[in-house]
Amino acid sequence: SAATISSQVRLRLLPRARCMFDEPVQVKARRQVVTMRARTTDDKGLVFSSSATYKADGSGEIDLERGSYAGVEPMGLLWSMRADTLHNRFIKTNSLNHHVVNFSVHEKAGEGRMLAEATNERLLIGDRVNRHPIKGAYPGPFPALLDLYTFGGGLSEKRASLLANRGFVVLTVALYGHDDMARNIKEVHLDYFEEAIEFFKKQDKVSVGVLSFSKTGDVALSIASYLPGVEATVGINGCCANTVLPFYHKKSQILPALMMDISKIVPTESGAFMCKNGMHNLLSEENKATLVPIKQAKGRFLFVASEDDLNWDSKAYMDQTVERLQRHGKDNFERVSYPAAGHYLEPPYGPYCPSSFHAFGAAEVHLWRKIQEFFRTHLSCDATQTKARL
């Protein structure tokens, strides 16, 4: 787990140098004061890096738990990695491509001479997980998840493969296949997702859940509201109205689109845009038809909102959804919000989106556990008895 360049320094990765993407790792070295660095490359070839200065404890050991992130997030070197240019999101789409992080120890001053280095191989797909295109029948019982990645950006297997490692059978679909296609889309069809749900329901003894994020949040609410058999739905920073594109089922429009007022989008000096107040008022009379009829959904919901989301007003949308459910006497939901988190909430210990605020990674760590607990509780199969499949 270490390559020592200086005889005075040894860099150790504990409990091992090879681990799963969503597992923490301890990074330790012996020297009074050092600069520790982390570096990785994403699937598009973009380099992400981070650094921090650490002081040794009384025994002369450097431990990331007592560094710049002490008391909050010892994995700070991992989640704080970013590209040299602003607003680049870490892209890891294929689960067969491991997340390889190079840790290095340097002398304190300036760039500093490198004293030791070690490589941390962080796996997205474990030895017990099978990855293949869907076909045929799969013997149950098993808990099945439809993982809806965000709008555009193609297909990502990261979240799906990590959940498969935890015992779920996961089918991951992009809202639309790639960026060019997303730019030319005029409408969204429920039939596309209905086919995926029907595939699961044809299997023996299967319970079905849906996991979503951002724009796919309103798609997930629609799936749970219009299609039977969805037992549990997680919506992360989504909207309670159908947004941007009209929604169709069997060639008929079922929901018009809540649109954005471009004049309310605020540019920042860094080149990012704050869209939080950009959507039209979904509670106004002319927009009420865009609201997803969530009262007719039979399953359970976990609503997740970041209070510092500047993409749109996720916390208000969550509160409005809960209020509507309560007004109809429903208690089939849980909710969680993160005061210091931004729009992107992904599995923990990867470089976060630099255009989102994160609560030192703590929100992602907490949410990742919460998602798994929620699905295990409300999907009627024992995930631990199933060989995972992706």
Q: Higher-confidence residue: 162 or 388?
A: 162
In angstroms, the CA 200 to CA 169 distance is: 10
Provide DSSP, 278-309.
-B--TTSGGGGGGB--GGG--SEEEEEEETT-
End-to-end CA separation in angstroms for the chain: 29
Residues 279-283 have a mean pLDDT of 88
Residues 295-306 have a mean pLDDT of 96
Q: How confident is the model over 53-62, as pLDDT tens digits?
A: 888 877 778 8
Res 382: pLDDT: 53
Residue 240's closest CA among 259, 219, 261? 219
| pTM, two decimal places | 0.88
Residues 96-122 have a mean pLDDT of 88
Q: At residue 1, does pLDDT exceed 60?
A: no
All structural domains of the chain = 3-123 (2.60.40.2240), 142-385 (3.40.50.1820)
Tokens for 197? 């749900």
Res 275: pLDDT: 72
- Paired strand residues for 207: 143
Q: At residue 198, does pLDDT exceed 60?
A: yes
Residues in the chain: 390
Provide DSSP, 180-240.
HHHHT---EEHHHHHHHHHHHHTSTTEEEEEEEETTHHHHHHHHHHHSTTEEEEEEES--S
Q: At residue 340, does pLDDT exceed 90?
A: no
- Paired strand residues for 130: 389
In angstroms, the CA 32 to CA 57 distance is: 8
Residue 46: in which H helix or E strand, if any?
none
In angstroms, the CA 18 to CA 101 distance is: 10
Distances (CA, A) of 130 to 21, 127, 166, 173, 388: 17, 8, 13, 17, 7
Instruction: Give catalytic residue positions.
Output: 214, 309, 343
Res 354: pLDDT: 58
